[in-house]
Amino acid sequence: MRISAAAVVTTLLLLLTGCGGAVSEAPEAPEPAKPETPPVEPQPGEPAPPPEEEPAPADSQLAVDSLAISVEPPPDLRICAGGDVLIGNNLDTLWAGRASQRVGYYVVPFPDPNELLSPLRPLVDDSDIVLLNIEGAIGAGPAPAKCRPGSTRCYAFRQPVSTAAALRRFAEPASVVGNVANNHALDAGIAGYGATIDHLRQAGVHVTGTDTLATLVPSPAGDTVAILGFSPFVAGPDPRDLAAVRRHVARAARHSPRVVVTMHMGAEGGDAQRTPNEAEQMFGEDRGNSVAFAHAAVEAGASLVVGHGPHVLRAVEWVGDALVLYSLGNTLTYGPFNLSEPSNIGAIACVTLDREGRVTAAVLRSAFQVPPGIVAADPDHRGAALIDSLSALDFPGTGARIVADSLVTRRQ
């Protein structure tokens, strides 16, 4: 019995690809006999015809390979993160007058937010995603008073509505993520908090820090990055509950190999540059242990932890393959802020994550501000130098080393 080559290839394809259901083990019915063709005798003077060649056997492996679907893994992803952003304050219209007296010239209370943000553009122009802390509400109109009359330790911030669209535009085509888990998100009350989220989303800014579910941000390759925001204040999941932190981050890691966590924690001011491995207090508030929080987040699956809240730069630490930036300070704070050194020194951290979530590269791009909040890139790289020193002091074994061109490397 003779079985055709085509039948063999078809059977192999069915077995290898699993298509077409079960293959019967019954032998193939023999092909009907073909009538024999008498040999053709060459005529006198004609050359004999060439012998008929047998067809080459089909290559079943090549046939299977031609059906395979090639799926490219997602490429590396570049995330640039900054610290606090505030562009004007319409809850305190007198701050610009006080600032004018200090600097000796007229301070515009509500300048064009696009112009204020434009110096940051070169620091994030290679990013796929930009992550910033929104240090205050966004909105307009009446708002309930946050601070008691005569208070000297209470500040209420709300930025103009135009801020939201400016934040979206300044980093295009990168996606922009705004964290609202902080101590100023509710400065315009509950309704103002909702308005802030609405303004950001309507402008195309992704919002994180509203609850314990991660914000899923699409990457240019079509996969997603999970971003979670935490703060020990009313707005945002509590970073002091480490068991809950692990649950929330682990849940996000089950859906995305690249998880970024941002935290608004710690004491504030020039005396808060060091990063203690203990709970910090400020104005009688327990502001949490940022080291314990960051380590718990990494253990649960975070690739990158970005800190802000102290209004100054802090150390950078390697925790396994993950990177922890304990505070990126003030990125752009136009308003009633103290911008004396070191609060005027900031940095943008740009971190590359591979498809498994590992940090493959990182760089710190230094910036500085002059009152009342005019930001510029720092050619002297003071922010990177300061972070290098703080990292060596606070984390001698695991602190990051900042080398030439402000590249972030391991100290050992």
pLDDT tens, N- to C-terminus, the chain (412 residues): 444 444 433 443 333 344 443 333 444 444 444 444 445 454 545 555 555 555 544 444 444 344 445 556 668 999 999 999 999 999 998 999 999 999 999 999 999 999 999 999 999 999 999 999 999 999 999 999 999 888 888 999 999 999 999 999 999 999 999 999 999 999 999 999 999 999 999 999 999 999 999 999 999 999 999 999 999 999 999 999 999 999 999 999 999 999 999 999 999 999 999 999 999 999 999 999 999 999 999 999 999 999 999 999 999 999 999 999 999 999 999 999 999 999 999 999 999 999 999 999 999 999 999 999 999 999 999 999 999 999 999 999 999 999 988 999 998 7
**Does residue 194 share a domain with residue 105?**
yes
Helices (H) then strands (E): counts for the chain: 10, 20
The vertex-208 CA angle with 202 and 213, nearest 5°, equals 120
pLDDT for residue 2: 43
- For residues 82 and 44, state if they share a domain: no
Same domain assignment for residues 143 and 234: yes
- Output the DSSP codes for 78-141: EEEEEEEEEE--TT-TTHHHHHHHHHTSPPPSS--HHHHHGGGHHHHTT-SEEEEEE-SEE--S
| pLDDT given for residue 23 in this prediction | 37
Do 63 and 81 have their domain in common? Answer: no
Q: Which of 17, 35, 70 is the last residue of a domain?
A: 70
- Cβ atoms within 10 Å of 305's Cβ, excluding its own: 28
Considering the domain architecture, whether residues 185 and 150 belong to the same structural domain is answered as: yes
Residue 373's domain is classified under what CATH number? 3.60.21.10
Domain co-membership, 25 together with 90: no
Last residue of a domain, one of 70, 87, 115: 70
34 and 138 in a single domain? The answer is no
Tokens of 189: 């009350």
Both 1 and 105 in one domain: the answer is no
Of 47, 70, 93, which one is at a domain's C-terminal end? 70
What is the structure's pLDDT at 72? Answer: 63
Looking at the structure of the chain, the number of domains it has is 2
Q: Judge if 57 and 106 occupy the same domain.
A: no
Range of the domain at 89: 77-410
Environment class of 405 (CB within 10 Å of its CB; exposed 0-12, middle 13-18, buried 19+):
exposed
- Is the domain of 209 the same as that of 335? yes
Residues near 253 by beta carbon (within 8 Å), at least 6 away in sequence: 226, 259, 300, 301, 302
Q: Is the separation of the CB atoms in 209 and 182 below 8 Å? A: yes
The pLDDT value given to residue 35: 46
Same structural domain for residues 44 and 128?
no
Can you read off the two tokens belonging to residue 73? 């893994």
**Are residues 266 and 324 located together in one domain of the fold?**
yes
